[in-house]
A and B are shown apart, each in its own frame.
Chain A
């Protein structure tokens, strides 16, 4: 019997011996957390008591009725619904700007992607310094436009916390979109768009009807990666507001952290973790099937 590569002479020991060390370690994050949190979520462990007897679905019932949980999902979705389209459109515009010959292109790209490789918590800390109402430059810049001194409390005022977090988030990840879309656009056959332009199509017509359909898979993957990242949004929010004021900007990840490590509601936090995993698994498996098929 031969495998698709036509190599019949490989021992099973070698074939699986190469795989199992990696699989064994991945199980630490791929199997253990699910099994363990599922187990803890039906017990009753908190700061006071360690009651490991079976309690059924009490924590899940409490979660369904927990307004703070639903709000944290809503906050996460708000961040996603604004950040994702803005990053996509800005990234696409930037990529179009770089598509033609542009002396110095490589250096500009190298500089533009620096936010992407900065640690998200450091990016958040940096924006916190920038947004400071007295010693940060942003209020100063705003005051140039308004013509009078500005003292916006960006990380405290409920009207400004969302813009502040979104600006930091978009600053950090727009270059990621830009890089992937530029790579996608650079692979579009130039003769196609040139032929269209000879036939009298405008730049935007050519882009809309020729380039965009071709880079659709790249857009899909870039958006998928960003959407999953935004669903787990933690670092930037933590650095800027810690979910505050109150729970105004609390995301699902931050709520889970607060439950598990500040309120020590171990079993309740475990139930939340199980729900998050269940929600994501469905989305992820469906999305990955599609990616794998297009590969």
Chain B
């Protein structure tokens, strides 16, 4: 369908409007992180700082607040690895051998639907008895469990797309089941594996409620750290903005990488994004 220049202009105008609405809050957040205290607490507000300065970030490093980012990184990456390995194995068996059948599949994904507050409450009582509150290990275990249903569900879809013939020829050539899985199936679904791993990481990285309940100081993650800056009268705006920016930019970069991969995956490798 051909479109007139008039119509295209209109569409761009609407797209611009949407971009302003959806990006302005993020712009504002990042800009606060570059402002001086005078600029942050100016009325009417300052829309762009006089100069980009990193003093607010330096404070985070000086005060040791960045430890929370380190905790987030450790907890999110290790739980992602566990969930990906166990989940992909489970998905393979479910897809190829119909292990557990449809009821099992529905049970698996339904675990993802329970509100986190309902899960974390008994887990907290358990961790208190085990002495696991405020430990990274405790968080890693919970994130692994919570993300496993997602990984299994996603990988089931990707494995279903792998032709069975590919595996059969390897089996006929004398490969074991496990070898077939690792050497034939896993390389074929690496795109899906990568995309799923990124999302799994993001879920753990962005989580608030589990970390709010299960961490105090030693294992505190960055979203909980940010909420600690909101206090009665004086809000540490500079720290809120700098910490949030620090914790959000890596996610934006990861998703940007993912999109290149998505374009490639959708176009069957014809377009290398």
Binding site for B on A (CB under 8 A): 3-7, 9-11, 14-16, 18-19, 21-23, 25-26, 28-30, 32-33, 36-37, 40, 94, 97-98, 100-102, 106, 108-115, 117-123, 125-130, 134-137, 140, 171, 174-175, 194, 197, 228, 231-232, 234-235, 238-239, 252-253, 256-257, 260-261, 266, 269-270, 273, 276-277, 280-281, 284-285, 288-289, 292
* Known pairs A117-B202, A135-B41; A25 contacts B223 (CB<8 A): no
On whether the beta carbons of A273 and B122 are closer than 8 Å, the reply is yes
On whether the beta carbons of A270 and B110 are closer than 8 Å, the reply is no
* Known pairs A21-B89, A266-B125; A100 contacts B1 (CB<8 A): yes
Interface of A is mostly: helix
Q: Does B184 sit at the interface, judged by CB under 8 A? A: no
Binding site for A on B (CB under 8 A): 1, 3, 8, 11-12, 14-15, 18-19, 21-23, 25-26, 28-29, 32, 40-45, 47, 82, 86-87, 89-90, 92-94, 96-100, 102, 105-111, 113-119, 121-126, 141-142, 144-146, 148-149, 152, 164, 168, 171, 177-178, 202, 205-209, 213, 223, 226-227, 230, 237, 240-241, 244, 247-248, 251-252, 255-256, 259, 263, 273
* Known pairs A125-B226, A261-B213, A289-B106; A135 contacts B149 (CB<8 A): no
Most B CB atoms within 10 A — which of A10, A23, A289?
A23
Most B CB atoms within 10 A — which of A11, A30, A32, A284?
A30
**Partner among A109, A126, A257 whose Cβ is within 8 Å of the Cβ of B28:** A126
Interface of B is mostly: helix
5 residue pairs, one from A and one from B, having the closest CB atoms: A232-B115, A119-B206, A22-B90, A18-B93, A121-B208
* Known pairs A114-B22, A129-B29, A129-B32; A135 contacts B251 (CB<8 A): no
On whether the beta carbons of B106 and A292 are closer than 8 Å, the reply is yes
**Partner among B19, B227, B247 whose Cβ is within 8 Å of the Cβ of A239:** B227
On whether the beta carbons of B255 and A113 are closer than 8 Å, the reply is yes
**Which residue of the partner chain B has the closest CB to A170?**
B21
On whether the beta carbons of A117 and B251 are closer than 8 Å, the reply is yes
What are 15 A-B pairs with beta-carbon distances under 8 A?
A: A7-B97, A19-B99, A29-B142, A100-B3, A102-B12, A115-B26, A117-B252, A121-B226, A122-B206, A122-B247, A126-B29, A174-B22, A234-B209, A238-B208, A273-B118
